Amino acid sequence: MGSPTATAPWKQLLLNALHSNSGLKHSSFFQLATVGSNGRPSNRTVVFRGFQENTDKIQIHTDSRSRKIEELKHNPLAEVCWYFTDSWEQFRISGVVEMIDHSNPDSLKLQQREKAWHACSVKSRLQYLGPTPGLPSISEHFTDENSLDSSTGPVDSFCLLILDPDQVDYLNLKSNQRMTFKSTKSHSEEKCWVSERINP
């Protein structure tokens, strides 16, 4: 087992995997699993929206009316499973998810949400103007680009999710290597990471 380090050693592995698989559009997609209010697992594919500035926290955009929001309110624990088909690498990243919606009282977090909104394409933003996800479809719904004012901030249904990892399981099928990374707290209450090589 390695000695604790403040910087997340798995983050560089992930950045390397993103770079080496950058020619594949699907490399920015991963699966996000949550726990349903009925105790059953709930899984879906989401898009990687980058790391929060100068951290190892993963950003995800979602509709605040979606089922995953209720699930995360009930239980904020979640796990990402991310497989890179060119380099044969898998990352399982688990941690706690913070939700930043329009009702968040923290002005700094609302600024992060607004920055995330403006980083979205117009096509992505239009999705948040559609009918409530998961409800029966009554009629065809088309949202016109003109109905979206690009100068205004995020619509109420836009929610920024921040996954704060506390454990990462890394598997490289080409080199047949597997490592785990677990976060601990230092004496000064700062997050530290401990790594260990384990059997694949």
Mean of per-residue pLDDT scores for the chain = 92
CA-closest candidate to residue 63, choices 132, 130, 142, 158: 158
Q: How far is CA 145 from the centre of its chain?
A: 27
User: Residue 18 is inside which H or E element, if any?
Assistant: helix 9-20
Does 76 map to a domain?
yes
Q: Read off the pTM.
A: 0.90
Sign (positive/negative) of CA torsion 199, 41, 90, 163?
negative
Provide the pLDDT for residue 42.
96
Where is pLDDT greater, at 133 or 93? 93
CA-closest candidate to residue 102, choices 79, 126, 69: 69
**Model confidence pLDDT, tens digit, residues 145-197:** 556 666 688 999 999 999 999 999 999 999 999 999 999 988 788 899 999 99
Q: How far is CA 141 from the centre of its chain?
A: 28
Does 61 map to a domain?
yes
Interior CA angle at 14 toward 77 and 190, to 5°?
Answer: 55
In this structure, the number of other CB atoms found within 10 A of the CB of residue 50 comes to 12
Q: Tokens for 22?
A: 């950058």
**Model confidence pLDDT, tens digit, residues 73-125:** 999 999 999 999 999 999 999 999 999 999 999 999 999 999 999 999 888 99
Does 4 map to a domain?
no
Domain, as residue range, for 118: 9-198
Report the number of distinct structural domains present in the chain: 1
Does 100 map to a domain?
yes
**Model confidence pLDDT, tens digit, residues 39-77:** 999 999 999 999 999 999 999 999 999 999 999 999 999
Query: Per DSSP, which regions of 54-147 are E strands?
Result: 58-63, 77-84, 89-100
